[in-house]
Chains A and B, each alone.
Chain A
Amino acid sequence: AQKITQTQPGMFVQEKEAVTLDCTYDTSDQSYGLFWYKQPSSGEMIFLIYQGSYDEQNATEGRYSLNFQKARKSANLVISASQLGDSAMYFCAMREAMDSSYKLIFGSGTRLLVRP
């Protein structure tokens, strides 16, 4: 079963508007972490934001915020005031505390295109 699901293969957003990228996850672990990475066309993977399963507040990092709804098992990324440089692939990922490998499990990604 897929553990991380990103249902939006591609999205458009107008510059300066906000956009939400969806991510749902599946785990039986009570303790886990959720990550978002950005991959621009140059190919590198850039860490954006982290949310722990026991964190009471939604994580925020500048223009990025994570809408964490634990009961729904969703961890959507919200980008406010989109910029042209936000055009990229975005990956949601999870790490489970029970997993001694500490590996990240990734979703299939969402390609975001910001229109001027």
Chain B
Amino acid sequence: DAGITQSPRHKVTETGTPVTLRCHQTENHRYMYWYRQDPGHGLRLIHYSYGVKDTDKGEVSDGYSVSRSKTEDFLLTLESATSSQTSVYFCAISGNPTGLNTEAFFGQGTRLTVV
């Protein structure tokens, strides 16, 4: 199994507070992704990273920021949490070398509830 861990696994937070989710990999993979999973929408890309300090937006990036200061860590921050950001968040990495047929490995997910 790919070494990818997310923390925390569960979090309840109040509207308006900042929240940071962490994704840690031990595989030295270049590409890392943050997705959110919502019923009826599947997984949607929030942000991704293609190297240290190299990040870009996905389709649902509003209200989120990311940082990657080390190869192994990719942080997702909700600057001011809203109820619409209640979701399950998945981190993923793409195998090396990254190509068309490269499997993506997923963390176990973080269930975030904003009250």
Residues of A within 8 A of B (CB): 4, 6, 9, 31-33, 35, 43-45, 47, 50, 52, 91, 93, 95, 97, 100-109
- Min Cβ gap B4→A in Å is 11
Residues of B with C-beta under 8 A to A47: 103-105
Can you list 17 A-B pairs, Cβ within 8 angstroms, ordered by A? Answer: A9-B40, A33-B101, A43-B108, A44-B106, A45-B90, A50-B103, A91-B42, A93-B43, A100-B50, A101-B50, A102-B31, A102-B94, A104-B43, A106-B35, A108-B40, A108-B42, A109-B42
Q: Which chain A residues border B44 with CB–CB below 8 Å?
A: 106
* CA of A32 to CA of B68, assembled, Å: 28
Total residue contacts A-B, CB cutoff 8 A: 58
Report which of A9, A31, A33, A106 forms a contact with B43, defined as CB distance below 8 A: A106
Q: Which residues of B contact A101 (CB under 8 A)?
A: 31, 48, 50, 56
- Beyond A35-B104, A47-B103, list 6 extra A-B contacts (CB 8 Å): A31-B100, A44-B109, A50-B101, A93-B43, A101-B50, A105-B45
B56 surroundings in chain A (CB, below 8 A): 101
* Chain A facing B: main interface SS: loop
B42 cross-chain contacts in A, Cβ below 8 A: 4, 6, 91, 106-109
User: How distant is B3 from chain A, measured CB to nearest CB, in Å?
Assistant: 14
Q: Chain B residues near A107: list those with CB within 8 A.
A: 42
Main secondary structure of the interface of B (DSSP, over half): strand
Q: Are A102 and B102 in contact (CB under 8 A)?
A: yes
Q: How far is the CA of A50 from the CA of B42 in the complex (A)?
A: 18
How far apart are B32's CB and chain A's nearest CB, in angstroms? 11
Chain A CB within 8 A of B88 CB:
yes
A106-B43, A107-B42, A108-B41 known; A43+B109 contact, CB < 8 A = yes
Taken together as a complex, chains A and B put the C-alpha atoms of A31 and B100 apart, in Å, by 8
A-B complex: 8 closest residue pairs judged by Cβ atoms: A45-B106, A106-B42, A106-B43, A108-B42, A33-B100, A47-B103, A102-B98, A43-B109
